[in-house]
Amino acid sequence: MNTRNTMLPELVPIIGCLLVALAYGDQPPQNNEPQCAGDGSPWRDFDFFIGDWDVIDPDSGQRYGRNTLVMSEQGCLLMGRWVNINGGTGTSMNFYDPLKKQWRQIWQSAPAMTDQTGGLDDQGRMQMEGQIYYHATGLRAPFRGTWSPIGPDRFLQEFWQYDVAEDQWNLWFRGEYRRIDEPSSDERGMENAP
C-alpha cells in the first residue's frame, strides 16, 4: 500500500492554510470590501466633485460646457466626462493613490493630456500639480490645478501652466461649476458602465 497517495488529501487543506497565513501575515482577511469604498478621508476627499455640472466663466457668465463626474469601482474611482459648447470632449480619472498617498487626476482629450497629484489643503481645496502634454506638438509643461468649494452646489476650478521662458505661472482655465439637478443621459449611462 502506498502511504504517500493516502496522505496527500489530508495535507492539501493544511498547505492551503499555510499559504493564506503567509499571504496575510498575522491579519486574516476581514471582508472583501475595498478601503476606498468606506466613508472616511482620504477616499472621500474629492466627493464634492461628483455630479452633473454646468461650467461657466465666473466673470462673464458665459457657459463653457458640461462636466459629469460619477463614482465607479465601488468608490475607488471618479470618472469624468467633459463636453464643451462646441462639442469638444475630454475624460478624467480621479482616484486616491494609496502607494503615493496622494490624489491623482489623469485627463485625456484629443488636444492634450494632464497627469497631476496632490490633496486637500487646510482650507478644503483640492490642489494638484503635474504636467500637461500637447499631442500635436509634443510640448510638455508644468501644470497645476485647484478645485475650491464655494457652496454645496458650486465650486471654482482653476488651472495654470508654467511658462519657462517667462518664469511664471499663467492662468490656463478658470470655470465655476454649478450643479445641475437632473442627471444627464451620459451620467445615467456611466453608472452602469463596467
Check residue 190 and give its pLDDT. 46
Domains of the chain: 3-33 (no CATH), 36-191 (2.40.128.20)
pLDDT in tens, 111-163: 999 999 999 999 999 999 999 999 999 999 999 999 999 988 999 999 999 99
Q: Name the pLDDT band for 38 (thresholds 50, 70, 90).
A: confident
User: Which residue, 122, 118, 98, 115, is CA-closest to 38?
Assistant: 98
pLDDT in tens, 165-174: 999 999 999 9
pTM: 0.77
Q: Which residues contact 174 (CB under 8 A, 6 or more apart)?
A: 57, 58, 156, 157, 158, 159
Rounded distance between C-alpha atoms, residue 54 and residue 13, angstroms: 58
